[in-house]
Amino acid sequence: MRPAIFFDCDGVLNEEPGGHGVLGPDDIRLIPGAGRAVRTAREAGYLAIIVTNRAQVAKGFVTLTGLETIFARLRELLAQDGGIVDAIYFCPHHPEQTPGGAPEFQIACECRKPGTLLLRRAIADFGIDLGRSPLIGDSLRDIGAGHAMGLTSYGVRTGYACRDVERYPDRAPPVPDRMFADVGEAVAFCVAHPAKHGQAGQPD
Please give the CATH topology (third level) of the domain spanning 4-128+148-196. Answer: Rossmann fold (3.40.50)
Per-residue pLDDT of the chain (204 residues; tens, 9 = 90+): 999 999 999 999 999 988 889 999 999 999 999 999 999 999 999 999 999 999 999 999 999 999 999 999 999 999 999 999 999 999 999 999 988 899 999 999 999 999 999 999 999 999 999 999 999 999 999 999 999 999 999 999 999 999 999 989 888 999 999 999 999 999 999 999 986 665 554 433
Extents of the domains making up the chain: 4-128+148-196
Does 27 qualify as catalytic in the annotation? no
Q: Which of 10, 138, 177, 182 is catalytic?
A: 10
Does 164 qualify as catalytic in the annotation? no
Q: Is 108 exposed, middle or buried (0-12, 13-18, 19+ CB in 10 A)?
A: exposed
- Reduce the DSSP state of residue 170 to 3 states and report it: coil
pTM of the entire predicted model: 0.94
Q: Distance between CA 172 and CA 60 in Å, rounded?
A: 32
Q: Which of 8, 86, 138, 142 is catalytic?
A: 8
